[in-house]
Amino acid sequence: MNCNNGLEEKLDELRRLLGKSNGDPLRIVSVGAGAWGSVFTALLQDTYGQFRDKVQIRIWRRPLRTVDRATAEHLFEVINSREDVLRRLIRRCAYLKYVEARLGDRTLFADEILKDGFCLNMIDTPICPLKVVTNLQEAVWDADIVVNGLPSTETREIFEEISKYWKERITVPVIISLAKGIEAALEPVPHIITPTKMINQATGVPMENILYLGGPNIASEIYNKEYANARICGAEKWRKPIAKFLRQPHFIVWDNGDLVTHEVMGGLKNVYAIGAGMVAALTNESATSKSVYFAHCTSEMIFITHLLAEEPEKLAGPLLADTYVTLLKGRNAWYGQMLAKGELSPDMGDSIRGKGMIQGVSAVEAFFELLSQSSLNVLHPEVNKPVAPVELCPILKTLYKILISREQSSQAILQALRDENLNDPRERIEIAQSHAFYRPSLLGQP
């Protein structure tokens, strides 16, 4: 038993909790095959896939998404640079199709290459081959654990579809959401809807069975076994056993009961990462300018956190860590850089080929909408009159004007930093700390 380092015992423990009988495999399905969803599924496959009679791990993605010629050529280079991958494809009689795709004699599809261990949003990091299902009903109808690897902007729609296939279910599945993003709702009062809440509303699965997993991590680096940690948030009944099940020597999973706030923070840092990318590109990676931006954006995040959380100081560490990694190497910061360099424009939309969904764009709109509501007014210290919270968040306002209303160019982010009327970031934090700021209604709390 000891030859697998206790993995089988961890699997058996989770099977018992889910009421699985002998001969009935634990069915884990990941819905959505972006970089993090694919890596998360591949980690499970690498760890537990050897116990085929006890667990079945699969991933769903839409069929018929084509791989363009340039990506096929790059993929061929990646394959030939990795002897282990090259040998595996030759052994599986799959190498020839990549040769043909490189020559333009064949079209590859995203679901097809995922079966061979290549994620379209992460071509440079081959993963293990995955069992791919393109029929959503087949993928989820009897799943015990469903992993939400979809962007927040697609979560509601897909889970409404899934709910149709769960009408006859007797047992309630456990859902682990990886999505970082939010929606704004203004009725009956302004509030945030997170992906776990979307899943709850779409399927009727109780919140105690829905968890959020997030943390400061880059998918490709986690798969390459860089040391990482994450936090699984939700009801104690499931978060503790699932944290134990997911934990690996290079991937430490902690657990926390504060589901919604952690989830919202995961969406908030994407907002400011886009601006950080813009500043980096516009100032030729000036360390000084980037640190000025960091001071302003973190003070705005702290200000917003005080509106959203009763004990905001508990979130400072996770929020800053997640922000830091996103600024260093995340797709939202990359997107901001490409906008500022003129290689992309907001008109191209927020789904970028080879990168996936840029979650920060919809989050900018949602946070701006919410914090513009007069019902949330706070006292402005200088003019001594009530203003909407967004008036104390100049970076957020500027990002909205660049990305959503399109009335300003990326250059405006520098103007926001240089505005001599901008309050010292310290003052914004003091305002938040000195007032009874907390608005439980923003997170749908009574």
Cα angle 174, 177, 180 (rounded to 5 degrees) comes to: 165
Residue from 73, 2, 443, 50 nearest 258 by CA: 443
Question: How much is the CA Rg of the chain, to the nearest whole Å?
Answer: 23
Backbone angles phi, psi at 379, to 5 degrees: -80, 120
Cα angle 196, 267, 330 (rounded to 5 degrees) comes to: 125
* Positions marked active-site: 269
Could you please report the per-residue DSSP string of 91-119? HTT-HHHHHHHHHTSS-EEHHHHHHTT--
Tokens 């992906």 correspond to what residue? Answer: 195
Helix (H, G, I), strand (E, B), or coil: what is residue 351?
Answer: strand
Q: Which residues contact 34 (CB under 8 A, 6 or more apart)?
A: 119, 121, 149, 150, 151, 356, 357
In angstroms, the CA 119 to CA 88 distance is: 16
Instruction: Give how far Cα 311 sits from Cα of 39, 218, 315, Å.
Output: 33, 28, 8
In angstroms, the CA 244 to CA 380 distance is: 47
